[in-house]
A and B are shown apart, each in its own frame.
Chain A
């Protein structure tokens, strides 16, 4: 058995598949076989663009105000039980992706492998690679149970590239009766407006950490990010402390960023943070502890007090 049929769980934002979803469809193409892409709602709306990236079929699931996890996993299970079974299901490492793959793994009694950055298929064997210890060590893991194999990938692991394929065929899939598991309902949706570029798309990211001392000092980070037309980010420590929302977090549990320039202000460089930013092209670190791990990966390291360096830097750049 080779990998003949691959499913990708895609997410649609503002009417278009997210970049993380297109990355997975692109990668699926290189693994061979047909590619079925699962989306919420009307599959026809995105069948064109998904086809361009290599999808041969789009499964549209209208799950209304249900959470994606139980609803999409049940829909996938119903299609599998109907005889259309994938060899591999790829998920983005996102809130919805994680919920759907977790529910599906129990329904199919199959393991899941998460946080991957690479996948290799050889015959009927599939191996994925996960970075651990802050990305210093790479662990390759091969699925040993039967297919379908379930794997989630960190954003930006692959480059999205269109192949000019025709529009994908569309199949609407209804959500089976979910029983108790379908009783969680979304009652309101809130979109947090942000000005400036998105954290995971910005060309320059300025992040702050515990070294800022107090939450009000985070304004320096926002100010510097604004001057550089970049996005402000944060370490887990100050998100946990409630200084900034979770959506600012860069790291293993937050966003993965790969900007041209990453400025880490008052961040020591916990492994949890480094995984999310060490792919940046250039890294500048400011920290008063010269032993801080962040200096081990910084192109330019300033051993100094962020409260002294940042104001001067902001002043110098503002005058330009």
Chain B
């Protein structure tokens, strides 16, 4: 796939933490406005793929093109300014900052980010708790804060790692609504997800990972036909 609508293109990506070789030649791409998931078991390299895009791994080789810019040699603090927002698995809410300080912390990377009012409208809980210490929030609220934080920056490529992990069904539904709303606005989303039932109805495509390789690419309309294969890979 070529053309200007390709927001992320990864070619032959290898990633290392110290001596351990985690990713063994990943090829993938995500287009403008797409919601793509990385499926796979724990340890298959899905989080490392996101962290490699952010240049948060020890070493990486290959090509990572973001919004048309080759970034394999780009320092970590410059990646976000290409319009990328990263929501890590551990959420990384800062305990020394209150909710609003957490929200305001990341600098804007594009000009059309959501305003504080808009964010509080989508996540009313955060407004009520805006003066609480960031880590005093419930798991669900922290997840919303971690999402809201990157929406305010105007990032239009979102890398989301296990955002539903350990959350109550009502919050998972809320997150699905938010993702669909973001997709409608034309944002590009790469989602690492364990909860296949959460991902299946909202995603356009899925990549299945195993042992640091991409072993399968599944389009939304092929889910039915390939469900047996998916079950084998995901062990569900």
Is B one of A's binding partners?
Answer: no
